[in-house]
Chains A and B, each alone.
Chain A
Amino acid sequence: MPPDGAATADVAGARAPAVQPAAARPGLFRRVLGALDPLAFVLPLGILVAWTGMYVFEVMPRILLPSPWEVLGTIGEWINPDWARGRPTYFTGTWAVDAMGSAYRALLGFVIGAMAAIALGVWVGWSRTAERFFDPTVQLLRPMPRTALLPFAIIFFGLTDASALFLVIYGVFLQVYVQVVTGVKLVGRDWKRAAAMLGASPRQILWRVVLPGAMPYIFGGLRLGIAYAWTLMILAEMFAVSGGFGYVLWRGYEFMRMDIVLGGMLMLGIFGFLSDRVIVLIARRKLAWAQDIAGNRL
């Protein structure tokens, strides 16, 4: 710190980085390796062993439960047709297109649905009039299973991406909306009073206090929402879209190719997991304050 005399220079540096210099960060590879928790691998390994055991002892017919290495091979053929060893099927080499299509439908739908839910949820949580106008309708729609909207979506939008997007947006919206409304309503009165006595207008209170204060709930809603996005995207792909993980998985079932079904499931699991991790990583940064209070890490 400079001595007290250097007041102006100090003020200019008021937004400078933290007082204590951050420790030098190790390389990316070492950080990822260090972040991996061995305990997290125990249960998946156990499931893999159980699966292998069931295959080896033929607990189920092998046509219904293929081995892990068969599924791995199938995924290889899915990714690269050259690995199909001259037995081409409908899915070989389409992995990249399927992945992009599925991710596009799930993530675009998620972003639109979540943004709509945050906008409307903040409004409803903040304004009693908006709540009276919108909330009863939303609560009426909410108990109806989102999947029940598929026939309606197909008739309205045809066998296109739009059907899938509609379904995903709708499902994500309902999931995130409830959390946003709850979060906005539970922002402490004392924070709002503090902001008001400091001179903030209702609009400034909404943006600077209520929205950040509701963030823990909003992030909770986003995590529920992303899982719903993948779920509904798969449903739409099974029936309304000719491509994507859901399409491949369902055709595999129709041809009794359980190796393809399991491969599709695995891909969905990985993609869903990764998209959720991204939200968690953002939440850890944005909710540093809430983690201070809780003395815990997300």
Chain B
Amino acid sequence: MSAFVEGRGLVKRYVGSSGQPTIALNGVDVDIPEGKITLLIGPSGCGKTTLLNMIAGFEKQSAGTLLVKGEPVRGPDPRRGVIFQDPNLFPWLSVWENVMFGPEVRGETRSVAEARAAELLRMVRLWDFRNHRPYQLSGGMRHRAAIIRTLANDPELLLADEPFTGLDEHTRRRLQGDFLSLVQRSGKTVVFVTHNIEEALFLADRLVVMSPSPGRIKEVIPMEMPRPRDILSDEFNHWRARLYNLITPDVVEEETV
């Protein structure tokens, strides 16, 4: 059986302002299995966000093929939901209107969509804040609202681009837990980009380790650690060391370039 997302020989070149081309991805083959959480991890410049944006349909590859469920990607699609690094809520709409945005533009039956939106709002403790505008909320609340705005569309594939970066440690852990319980309930296929080792180990069913200049895949590691995962356990620490040793040389290399 073929993978949910299948990339073959993916290349992405940018032409910078100096006219000099940068190679963000250099011939990447990638498979994203259905119903699993795949983590793309690597230091900055390894092309993980570029790869995610290509799957989302925001950017087109310079060469190679990219199939989602056997079909080539031709632009953004509500079946492929994205959670951005910045919550990116529409600030002129209330939280409720943000969450209902997707179902409304897709013309979904109102009562069904409203019931789902209400359930999601309760799950992430935002029901009482549904009539607030995004910038009346804290940063962590905005991130939760952004996650359920994407989930309210019930996408088959969830693409997350470092959604918890910039949050404090405590909020981040709590949101990771929220995210995991939301995703595991629905058994969605997830591609999650991060540069945070602990986050990757906490969430992943499968790790795709990438390295920079030019961006390529270094190693694909299945993660069979049982859940719930204890970030202080010996097993977790063992994984942490392994991943650290895999990624750190690339970080140094990039900084000396």
Contact = CB atoms under 8 A, between A and B. Distances in A.
Interface of A: 1, 4, 7-8, 10-11, 14-19, 190-191, 193-201, 204, 208-209, 212-213, 215, 288-290, 292-293
Contact of B106 (A10, A199, A213): A199
Nearest to A203: B105
B115 A293 contact: no
B244 interface: no
Contact of B84 (A1, A194, A212): A194
B90 A191 contact: yes
Given A11-B114, A193-B58, A290-B91, A200 B133 contact: no
B82 A193 contact: yes
B77 A197 contact: yes
B189 interface: no
Interface in B61-101: 75-78, 80-82, 84, 86, 88-92, 96, 101
Interface string B139-173: 00000000001100100000000000000000000
A14 B118 contact: yes
B130 interface: yes
Contact of A1 (B90, B118, B128, B135): B128
Contact of A198 (B114, B136, B153): B153
B91 A199 contact: no
Contacts of B133: 288-289, 292
Given A19-B131, A292-B135, A196 B91 contact: no
B122 interface: yes
Contacts of A195: 90, 101, 105
Contacts of B77: 197, 199
B129 interface: yes
A96 to B, nearest CB: 40
Contacts of A198: 78, 81, 101-102, 105-106, 149-150, 153
Interface string B105-135: 1100001001101110010000111111111
Contact of A212 (B57, B78, B92, B134): B92
30 contacts: A1-B127, A1-B128, A7-B118, A11-B111, A14-B96, A14-B118, A193-B56, A193-B82, A193-B88, A194-B89, A194-B90, A196-B58, A196-B76, A197-B56, A197-B58, A197-B81, A198-B81, A198-B101, A198-B106, A198-B150, A199-B78, A199-B106, A199-B153, A200-B105, A201-B105, A208-B105, A212-B92, A288-B133, A289-B91, A293-B91
Contacts of A15: 96
Contacts of B58: 193, 196-197
Closest 6 CB pairs of A and B: A199-B78, A292-B135, A198-B102, A196-B76, A289-B91, A199-B106
Nearest to A199: B78
The listed residue with most A CB atoms (<10 A of its CB), out of B57, B101, B134, is: B101
Contacts of B88: 190-191, 193-194
Contacts, number: 101
Given A19-B131, A292-B133, 5 more contacts: A11-B114, A11-B118, A190-B88, A194-B90, A290-B91
A223 to B, nearest CB: 19
B76 A197 contact: yes
Contacts of A290: 91-92
Contacts of B80: 197
Contact of A193 (B76, B78, B102, B132): B76
A10 B96 CA distance: 13
B223 to A, nearest CB: 27
B253 to A, nearest CB: 30
A215 B56 CA distance: 28
Contact of B101 (A7, A8, A208, A215): A208
B218 to A, nearest CB: 28
Contacts of A213: 92
Contact of B130 (A14, A200, A209): A14
